């Protein structure tokens, strides 16, 4: 089993709708979870991090963590064309962070 798994996409979502991105991880000891956004040709930038079970909201973004199911998700409300990017899920393993391969999100105008 891969350490951090994401559906590669592309995930196509109409403008104004909710985009839902999912990630599963294998290490039950992981305690830190991150979502990065990466535009084509650019470097990843952090948009959300979550440490505790439940939801964390920041503007249009909500991160959800379920440690029992080893599942992290990112919801983007009122999706905009500028949200079109690759979203990387990252999880700590010991003293490192392991990245998923990312999900490509395409917001349809």
Partner 1 sequence: DVKVTQSSRYLVKRTGEKVFLECVQDMDHENMFWYRQDPGLGLRLIYFSYDVKMKEKGDIPEGYSVSREKKERFSLILESASTNQTSMYLCASSFRLSYNEQFFGPGTRLTVL
Which residues lie near partner 1 (CB under 8 A)? 31-32, 34, 42-46, 49, 51, 88, 92-97, 99-102
C-alpha triplet 46, 51, 54: angle, nearest 5°: 105
Rounded least distance, CB 104 to partner 1, Å: 11
Rounded least distance, CB 14 to partner 1, Å: 27
The CA distance from 8 to 1, in Å, is 16
Please say whether the beta carbons of 68 and 58 come within 8 A: no
The CA distance from 68 to 58, in Å, is 23
Closer to partner 1 by Cβ: residue 75 or 97? 97
Closer to partner 1 by Cβ: residue 76 or 100? 100
Rounded least distance, CB 49 to partner 1, Å: 6
Closer to partner 1 by Cβ: residue 40 or 109? 40
Residue whose token pair is 């395409």: 106
């Amino acid at each position: 089993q891969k350490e951090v798994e994401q559906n590669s996409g592309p995930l196509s979502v109409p403008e104004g709708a909710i985009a839902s991105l999912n990630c599963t991880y294998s290490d039950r000891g992981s305690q830190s979870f991150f979502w990065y956004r990466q535009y084509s040709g650019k470097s990843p930038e952090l948009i959300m991090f979550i440490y505790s079970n439940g939801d964390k909201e920041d503007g249009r973004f909500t991160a959800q963590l379920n440690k029992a199911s080893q599942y992290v998700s990112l919801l983007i409300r009122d999706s905009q064309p500028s949200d079109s990017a690759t979203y990387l899920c990252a999880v700590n393993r010991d003293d490192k962070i392991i990245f998923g391969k990312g999900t490509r999100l395409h917001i349809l105008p």
